[in-house]
Chains A and B, each alone.
Chain A
Amino acid sequence: MDIVVPIKQVPETSNVKMDPKTGTMIRDGVETVVNPLDLFAIETALRLKEAHGGTVTALSMGPKGAEKALREAIAMGCDGGVLVSDRAFAGSDSWATSYTLSQAIRQMGRFDLIVAGERATDGDTGQVGPGIAAWLDLPLATYVAAITRVDPDEGRLTVERLVEEGYQVLELPLPALLTVVKEIAAPRLPMLRGKKRAKAAEVPLYTAATMDLEPAFLGLKGSPTRVVKVATPKVTRGGTVVQAKDAEAVAGAVDRLLAFLDARDLLPHDGAPAGGAAAEQAGGRP
């Protein structure tokens, strides 16, 4: 099974710093990593390859530096990586990004499956995976939490999607596109041998000049959306903090909490709990 994994390089989330004046992210000196949610996609692809043979190729669109993310993917066990990078792609929204990536995938040649992360932790849209499926007219399953059956001869997969009502069980023919969630598999760490291979690997570069692209669909110019304002929300809500050191203080603190909730109309209503119909759907107990 030949698998393509689109990955994104993102700033490490734990140390995202915002410029309080401009409300933009301070990128200087911030470590970049492979989008943590893409690691589940890489792991899924590697396990499929181990079970059924084939290859796994990582694909990333971004600045030249995104090559580092591809090498990390190779270190984990991917067979190769393709970097899609050009000034002409800068400022792409999810529409233009999914177009450019889908053209890169066409150019890479035959494949059986595309596995993507559910979303990237920086842009946070989750739109690129479904977008690529639309461009390539591939059967799509998002939020996949398990692949329960693989029939490579017939070219069919059975997967379970984590949706609001439970797990939706789907059967789909290959080639197809899946986006996966954490539950699917714990990602492996890169091994020394992999790191060596990653260092030596050649990462082909696709640019606007080497790809078959509609110029009107690229970058900021080709993006239907425009960011018109960026604001930093208040970090703190200026909330009340009360101490509850001993039994008496606990009772007092709970008193104040109940009064606080009451003032916001958040206390449970008798007979009809807040949530009404939603409560019934919410499940709760095993």
Chain B
Amino acid sequence: MKKKMSFQSFIIAGIRNKPGRNLATAFCFAFIAANIFSGQYLIAGAVGSVNQGVSRMGADFIVAPIEYTVLLRGSGPENTFAIVKTLPTVWRMNNNRMDTIGNVQGVIGISPQLYVATINASELSSLPVDIFGFDPETDFTIQPWLRQPLKNPLSQGEVIVGHQITGDILSKVQVSNRSYTIAGRLDPTQSAADTTIFMGLDDAYSLAQTEGVVPLSAPRISRGDINAVLVRIQPGEDPDPIGARIRRSFPPSQVTVIGRHFTLDPISQDIQGLPGLLKIISLVIVVATFPLIALIAAMVTHERQREIGLIRSMGAKRNVIFSLVIVESLFLAAIGGIAGVAASLIAFLLLNTTGILNSALQVSFRQPAVADTGYMAGIALFVVIAIGGIASLVPAYTSSRMNPYDAIRGEDR
């Protein structure tokens, strides 16, 4: 038996023993919280996916020996083409040409790639597996496709594998009796990258020296050889003049410069407009729910007239009544807010795993990071609690001003 009375226990008893009215109030708060949270969550997810999409657009140009020309198909937003890796060819050039490209005006990133060999290994994939060397430090086309960011920069003996290669992260893969650790795995690119193993250039050169890796029919690979240089240009710059400048920096008929035939800007602008729209919708809903909350608060207070009159007759001062009404409202707002955020989070997780979210949004939805999610939940809670406080101001004031005897007479006698 509890032999003490406190304001908390009084408020909690009131909430616990009158579930009907409190559920209605908490539900309204939950609705608002869910709305605010979902809005932010959708914005963050969509923007995250656009940002990822941009980073996965691959190279703007590929500079390769004149012998080949290639574009690889990728699955960026709108299924456009992204240059993630070069084609597996044996036409090579020396990496001393890279500086020339890097110095061209408008170029902001260059990264070399080397095709080593194609192996058949049923334990890795039912399809032939390409082995590629790349430079993890300058790379800007492969690593954006990582499902999970690497814990540490890729080091010697570590590889990144395409989506269809078998093997868990941190497990070993065998390539021609050499063992490598899988450090990362790519999302599906719907390109040959899905069946490729990417390793650092040093590892690639050593592997290439191993007997039987590079077919005898193919020219030997020596240190410094690369197949292509992937080029990224200043965003927003017109690619054509830059491509022309790169071509002119080489002697005629030595390299081919292949450009990407699309830009992302129009799509991303569409999606960048989304946050504003969602914010407006959130605002409208909050504004529309506000009178509802205020109405419920007023109704609850009316229903509690007798109770308030009684505790006034026991000597409760006006400010006590005022605080009681406010605190109770804040409490319900907090409970409703937490419930609303939790419910939307669960709904999003379900929708996301079932893929409904992606198809409904028409953009790939990227689940925001835990910290960001916590921040958004915090904002939703804060807004809901603020609304709870503000909406209960008037009822709190009128209750505290009510004449105790009238309040009691208002109901049963």
Indicate whether A and B interact: no
Q: Which residues of A contact B (CB under 8 A)?
A: none
Q: Which residues of B contact A (CB under 8 A)?
A: none
